[in-house]
């Protein structure tokens, strides 16, 4: 089946020293293959957020190895990790994280600005990304003129505009009602199936996790369970 796109090998992450030391991850082994849709669950303090920060190249293990497409991320410099995030990863957040005084189109273009892409190409790709989330005609609207569901659609467009290999979604439906949550999950499933984007999604909601093909549960710094799901759609 080839090399996993993401692999943890005995990953440990500790914070603090001496009596104040906390072990957030206690030797986690984990593999995710290209094209999987994985829900990540667990109570507060379980280690799931620490794991996601390492996976998203925002943190590094204290010991053990995190490999992305076979490359040991722990051996990369801070700048190299930033480039990995910029070119291979997309991020969606519970709070949308949009720039308030900036149009939907400009928000979506942001990852392409960081890549130094010419304006005409940025505009074209951002319009295509907005169309892919059902927001054609909303390009000039600012976040204040959008509903929560529409803001999350803009955030998804921003995450996929750079064509990432892996999409990290942190409670993407946490601020939305049930109907909007279903719409957002169907979008994520669509990008996973049609574009082959690997998705890792943190959620507290079992009905949202059911959209994934696999659910990993963390507890006390360990993987408590790792199960295949029967998808609801």
**Domain with 142 in it: what CATH number?**
3.40.50.300
Instruction: Establish if 158 belongs to a structural domain.
Output: yes
Instruction: Establish if 108 belongs to a structural domain.
Output: yes
Instruction: Establish if 1 belongs to a structural domain.
Output: no
Parent domain of 205: 6-228
Q: What is the pLDDT of residues 113-153, one digit of tens each?
A: 988 899 999 999 999 999 999 999 999 999 999 999 999 99
Q: What is the tally of structural domains in the chain?
A: 1
| pTM of the complete model beyond 0.85 | yes
Q: What is the pLDDT of residues 65-77, one digit of tens each?
A: 999 999 999 899 9
- The token pair at 140 is 């000039």
149 exposure class (CB count in 10 Å sphere: 0-12, 13-18, 19+): middle
Q: Express as a percent the part of the chain with pLDDT over 70.
A: 97
pLDDT of residue 17: 87
Place of tokens 């991020």: 91
Instruction: Establish if 131 belongs to a structural domain.
Output: yes
Q: What is the pLDDT of residues 9-20, one digit of tens each?
A: 999 999 988 888
What mean pLDDT value characterizes the chain? 92
Q: What is the pLDDT of residues 19-69, one digit of tens each?
A: 888 999 999 999 999 999 999 999 999 999 999 999 999 899 999 999 999
Alpha-carbon dihedral angle through residues 53, 84, 171, 227, given to the nearest 10 degrees: -80
Q: What is the pLDDT of residues 158-180, one digit of tens each?
A: 999 999 999 999 999 988 899 99
**In residues, how long is the chain?**
233
**Residues 201 and 39: beta-carbon distance below 8 Å:** yes
pLDDT of residue 89: 95
Q: Express as a percent the part of the chain with pLDDT over 90.
A: 85
Instruction: Establish if 46 belongs to a structural domain.
Output: yes
- The token pair at 232 is 């609801």
Give the separation between CA 65 and CA 12, rounded to whole angstroms. Answer: 9
pLDDT of residue 2: 66
Q: Residue 208's beta-bridge partner residues?
A: none
Instruction: Establish if 14 belongs to a structural domain.
Output: yes
């Amino acid at each position: 089946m080839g090399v996993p796109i993401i692999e943890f090998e005995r990953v440990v992450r500790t914070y603090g020293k001496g009596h104040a030391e906390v072990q957030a991850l206690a030797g986690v082994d984990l593999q995710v293959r290209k094209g999987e849709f994985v829900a990540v669950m667990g109570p507060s303090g379980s280690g799931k957020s620490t794991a996601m920060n390492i996976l998203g190249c925002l943190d590094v293990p204290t010991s053990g190895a995190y490999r992305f497409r076979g490359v040991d991320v722990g051996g990369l410099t801070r700048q190299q990790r930033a480039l990995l995030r910029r070119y291979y990863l997309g991020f969606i957040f519970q709070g949308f994280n949009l720039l308030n005084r900036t149009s939907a189109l400009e928000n979506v273009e942001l990852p392409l600005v960081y890549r130094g892409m010419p304006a005409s190409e940025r505009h074209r790709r951002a319009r295509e990304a907005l169309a892919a989330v059902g927001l054609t005609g909303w390009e000039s609207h600012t976040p204040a003129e959008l509903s929560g569901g529409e803001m999350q659609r803009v955030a998804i467009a921003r995450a996929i505009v750079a064509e990432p290999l892996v999409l990290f979604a942190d409670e993407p439906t946490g601020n939305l009602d049930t109907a909007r949550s279903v719409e957002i999950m169907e979008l994520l499933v669509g990008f996973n199936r049609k574009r082959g984007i690997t998705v890792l999604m943190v959620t507290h909601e079992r009905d949202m996790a059911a959209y994934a093909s696999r659910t990993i549960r963390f507890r006390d710094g360990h993987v408590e369970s790792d199960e295949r799901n029967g998808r609801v759609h």
